[in-house]
Structure 1
Amino acid sequence: MTEQPAHAYDLAGRLRERCGRLPVTRSTVATLLKSMARSGLVAAREPGRVGNRPPRTVYETTAAGVADFHHRVESGLRDSPVASMDFVLAVGHAGVLPAERAALILEERAALLASSGSDPAQGALEAEYWRGMVAAEITWIRELARRIRDREVTWGAEPAMAGQANA
């Protein structure tokens, strides 16, 4: 749906293709779309029929949906825990943000992680592992921010979400 308006069957199929390990059903996607429509994040079109298939409701992202998605990506880049799937997902969608904005948020995250210096209350090996994970993430984030600023990273991979609500 970020690429183009779609119906639940189409979205479920795309999710299965892209996220093979994610258990996706059409009914779950349809329920989520209805909830998002009630929240104003997507808008439903009148059900349409293709051939002799049953009518299907197509949904498209609203301006509020685009803004909410951008906010969630920013929050994930800035606030998600170290080495978390939330951070990975935010990085995967960072291209919806302006390159400078994404680089700035990443640099702020790296600076915050570097200054926190707190270890979880664990034994020596666990604390050593955690320090290594945090250090690796800081290094990776700083390098990514530099690559974004130096235009070494292809940016804006999701043009429909980058500023077009109904594309």
Structure 2
Amino acid sequence: MPSDASRNGLVLPLLGLLVEQPSHAYGLTSRLRERYAHLPVTRSTVTSLLKALERSGLVASRQPERVGNRPPRTAYELTEAGMADFRRKVEAGLRDGQAASVDFIMAVAYASVLPAGDAASLLDARADRLDRELLPPERERPGGVPEAHMLEAAYWRTIVAAEIGWIRTLASRIRSHDIEWPAAPKEN
């Protein structure tokens, strides 16, 4: 785990699940595994992250509760500072995340925490940035290098171009209200 727990790749989805509802470490671990099978999730990591996020003031713990015969569990909820940090992380992931990255995927997963117009504008700006960074096919391969030695360049171009197209479609659908967009959650 990074020395700065807020840089852990599980923080964004963890905070996102707490936006949906307060929960305890076991419940959060289960929901993370169900929803994001591609992320490496352990209960000990989730517990450590929750404690670090609590020390940072981003989440607050509730009094431990016992349900049935189970041991008492401490539930956590997002604080006002946690919601503000979560929104900043979503904005940064939409705007700055690398193409085809987990950071971008997680930001998209929680884009609805932002007002629809803000999310669409961030997506448009991202598509514009990726368009500028995309090399034309003739510049993908240095002169004299056989195509067979640079197949990954064409692959990457295809992946980034597909992401750009998908982003532009998503932004358009958000703006046209083709996607039912919830009201942005209020600060706690």
Which of the five TM-score ranges fits, normalised by the shorter chain? 0.7 to 0.9
Cα distance in 2 between the residues matched to 1:162 and 1:121? 47
| Structure 1 portions without partners, runs of 5+ | none
Structure 1 CA distance for aligned equivalents of residues 119 and 37 of structure 2: 28
Q: Deviation of residue 112 (structure 1)?
A: 1.4
- Cα distance in 2 for partners of 1:59, 1:75 equals 24
The two structures, once aligned, show a CA RMSD in angstroms of 2.2
Other-structure match for 2:10: none
Q: Please identify, of 130-139 and 96-105, the stretch whose mean Cα deviation from structure 2 is larger.
A: 130-139
Which of the numbers 112, 116, 127 marks the counterpart of 2:153? 127
Q: CA deviation at 1:140?
A: 1.4
Quote the Cα distance in structure 2 between the aligned partners of 1:93 and 1:145: 14
Q: Flag the 1:92–1:49 CA change in 2: closer, same or farther, 3 A.
A: same
Paired position in structure 2 for 1:84: 101
Name the CA shift for 1:128/1:25 in 2 (closer, same or farther; >3 Å).
closer
Following the alignment from structure 1 to structure 2, what is the Cα–Cα distance between the partners of residues 137 and 23? 24
Quote how far apart the aligned CAs of 1:111 are.
1.1
Q: Matched residues in 2 for 1:146 and 1:138: separation?
A: 12
Number of aligned residue pairs: 162
Q: Quick one: which amino acid aligns to residue 130 of structure 1?
A: W
TM-score by structure 1 length?
Answer: 0.84
Q: Which has the higher contact order (CA 8 A, sep 6+)?
A: 1
Deviates more, 1:4-13 or 1:56-65: 4-13
SS in 1 for 2:60: strand
For normalisation by structure 2, the TM-score amounts to: 0.76
Instruction: Measure how far apart 1:12 and its partner are.
Output: 1.7
Say which SS state the counterpart of residue 64 (structure 1) adopts.
helix
| Gap runs ≥5 in structure 2 | 1-17, 143-148
- 1:48-75 residue CA offsets vs partner (Å, 9 max, x unmatched): 2234432221111001111111111111
* Residue 50 (structure 2) pairs with residue 33 (structure 1): yes
2:62 to 41, 45, 52: 45
